[in-house]
Amino acid sequence: MSTIYFNDTAQKYGEFSNFYLASFRNTSGIFFSSVIHFYYANALIKIYPDIARKIRTMQSPIEVYAYAKEYISTISLDEDMKCALMRSGLFFKFTQNKNLKHILLETRGKEIVYDNQKDLFWGVNRDGRGENKLGILLSELRGIL
């Protein structure tokens, strides 16, 4: 099985990144500009509702990430919750953006790996260490679609 590595939104398969701007709505009709917007807004909504609302209106996923880090470190999200939030965001992103769905489906038969040197929960570093949860969730979604 061949492997697809992704990270930077400007590179091949950058569409798989949570930082890639691909807007969608959740089941309540709330608009999100990217999966990063969705993930952090939903992770923080119960404890920091004003912060979550602000995150939804931010322009840049990088801005969201930098801003949310301060707050996300104060709450407890277990692995199952993190994956559930990410799974939902990915589902909305790829089912509501047909071109992205097509790109994901074209990767059938290939392993998807999030190449990330720092976040070994969501990705894998160059030494092959990491859980690659994002790549696994993308592969699961591909199987559902």
pLDDT, tens only, 81-119: 999 999 999 999 999 999 999 999 999 999 999 999 999
Domain boundaries, the chain: 3-144
State pTM to two decimals.
0.95
Amino acid in the structure at residue 15: E
Size of the chain, expressed as the number of residues it contains: 145
Q: Which CATH class is domain 3-144?
A: mainly alpha
SS3 of the chain: helix, strand, coil, percent, to 5 = 50, 10, 40
d(CA 64, CA 108): 31
pLDDT in tens, 3-52: 999 999 999 999 999 999 999 999 999 999 999 999 999 999 999 999 99
